[in-house]
């Protein structure tokens, strides 16, 4: 586990002789190893001693005083006494004292902070499958953190805000975060992730993910391959239906009845194909899709045009357009000529009055 050593140097000075112990506060993750170092700049062969928060002596010089296999000597000299505590637990946290046995005894205190590692989070409250329109509350919980962990929610990769609750449990904290959802079809297949952020998690944060499965009634639309269907052409109608469970198969009808000509009207899956259109194909075509949550349908009104009539109509339209353009041009010319005439007449009248 990662060991964090920092914070200010603490020292206790007595007199002016220059003999005083120097120590540092230590922060360590639960289960890790803490090194406690006490140094003296000037020492006249006086012994150093480490004691725990209960004032039990751990080491006096290089002599071990407490029977605890986790505590070992790292270095012992007249200027330094360093010990290590392995497999640190939360109960090891507290104020440790280094004593320099001068007259009087001089001490320095170092605080050992133990970080509680949060457990892997769990997500509760998810019903599979959820139904469109359901109100769902997802709850994420993690235990064992010290200080209290932070929980963050993500909808796929986008962060969303949850409601956080923190409860103390001895020296550690239990943290919950709730996320309320009004489920719709857009949530189908969406991953909701709860992530734990904590100072003890120095590498990859802990997280849990649940993927929503949403069941919803189908919606249907018809897509057609031709804008202006004409006799003899090939036409494909596609029934696009979206629902969960998938609404298969779809049902095609014409004018409320079964399809009349299955030789030219071919149904393959969701597609209705006309190999060669004719006037008898005119009518209202309906596609219907169902699952256990409901039924949906869409209609397409087919009118098959005569290609010769469309060509004649195009010629007529062009002729009419040309006549209209000529009339507009002549009208504009008349307006311009009339305007000039009126302007000249008005000017002549003004001169005569003068």
Q: Tell me which of 287, 302, 317 is where a domain ends.
A: 302
- Residue 276 phi, psi (nearest 5): -155, 110
DSSP letter string, 65-131: -S--TTEEEEEE-SSEEEEEE-S--GGG-EEEEEEE-SSS-EEEEEEEEEEBPPPPPEEE---SSEE
Q: What is the pTM of this model?
A: 0.70
Name the percent of the chain lying above pLDDT 90: 70
Give tens-digit pLDDT for 113-158.
999 999 999 999 988 899 999 999 999 999 999 999 999 999 999 9
Give tens-digit pLDDT for 67-107.
999 999 999 998 999 999 999 999 999 999 999 998 889 99
Q: Tell me which of 191, 212, 233 is where a domain ends.
A: 212
Let me know if residue 333 belongs to a domain.
no
Give tens-digit pLDDT for 283-316.
999 999 999 999 999 999 999 999 887 654 444 4
Q: Are residue 160 and residue 206 in the same domain, yes or no?
A: yes
Quote the number of domains for the chain. Answer: 3
pLDDT on residue 311: 55
Q: Which of 84-88, 92-96, 263-267, 336-340 has the lowest mean pLDDT?
A: 336-340
Q: Which of 162-171, 198-207, 225-234, 328-337 has the lowest mean pLDDT?
A: 328-337
CATH number for the domain harbouring residue 25: 2.60.40.10
pLDDT on residue 249: 86
E strands within 183-320?
191-197, 206-211, 214-224, 235-244, 251-254, 265-268, 271-274, 283-291, 294-302
Which structural domain, as residue segments, surrounds residue 87? 21-114
d(CA 114, CA 247) in angstroms, rounded, equals: 57
Q: How many CB atoms lie within 10 A of CB 55?
A: 8
Residue 353 scores a pLDDT above 90: no
pLDDT on residue 6: 35
């Amino acid at each position: 586990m990662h060991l964090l050593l920092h914070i200010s140097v603490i020292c206790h000075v007595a007199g002016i002789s220059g003999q005083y112990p120097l120590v540092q506060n230590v922060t360590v993750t639960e289960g890790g190893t803490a090194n406690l170092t006490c140094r003296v700049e000037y020492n006249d062969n006086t012994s150093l001693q480490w004691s725990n928060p209960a004032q039990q002596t751990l080491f006096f010089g290089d002599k071990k005083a407490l029977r605890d296999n986790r505590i070992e000597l790292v270095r012992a000299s007249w200027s330094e006494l360093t010990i290590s505590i392995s497999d640190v637990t939360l109960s090891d946290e507290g104020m440790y004292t280094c004593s320099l046995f001068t007259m009087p005894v001089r001490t320095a205190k170092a605080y050992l902070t133990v970080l509680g590692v949060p457990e892997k989070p769990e997500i509760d409250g998810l019903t599979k499958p959820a139904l469109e329109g359901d109100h769902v509350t997802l709850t994420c919980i993690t235990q064992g953190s010290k200080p209290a962990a932070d929980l963050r929610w993500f909808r796929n990769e986008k962060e969303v805000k949850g409601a956080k609750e923190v409860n103390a449990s001895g020296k550690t904290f239990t943290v919950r975060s709730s996320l309320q959802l009004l489920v719709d079809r857009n949530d189908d297949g969406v991953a909701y992730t709860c992530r734990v952020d904590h100072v003890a998690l120095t590498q990859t944060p802990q997280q849990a993910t649940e993927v929503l499965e949403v069941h919803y009634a189908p919606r249907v639309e018809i897509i057609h391959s031709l804008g202006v269907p004409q006799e003899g052409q090939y036409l494909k109608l596609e029934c696009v239906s979206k629902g969960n469970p998938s609404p298969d198969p779809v049902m095609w009808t014409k004018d409320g009845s079964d399809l009349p000509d299955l030789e030219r009207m071919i149904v393959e899956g969701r597609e209705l194909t006309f190999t060669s259109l004719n006037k008898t194909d005119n009518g209202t075509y309906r596609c219907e899709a169902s699952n256990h949550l409901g039924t949906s349908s869409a209609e397409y009104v087919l009118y098959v045009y005569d290609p010769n009539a469309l060509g004649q109509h195009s010629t007529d339209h062009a002729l009419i357009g040309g006549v209209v353009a000529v009339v507009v041009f002549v009208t504009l010319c008349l307006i311009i000529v009339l305007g000039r005439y009126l302007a000249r007449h008005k000017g002549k009248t003004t001169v005569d009055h003068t």
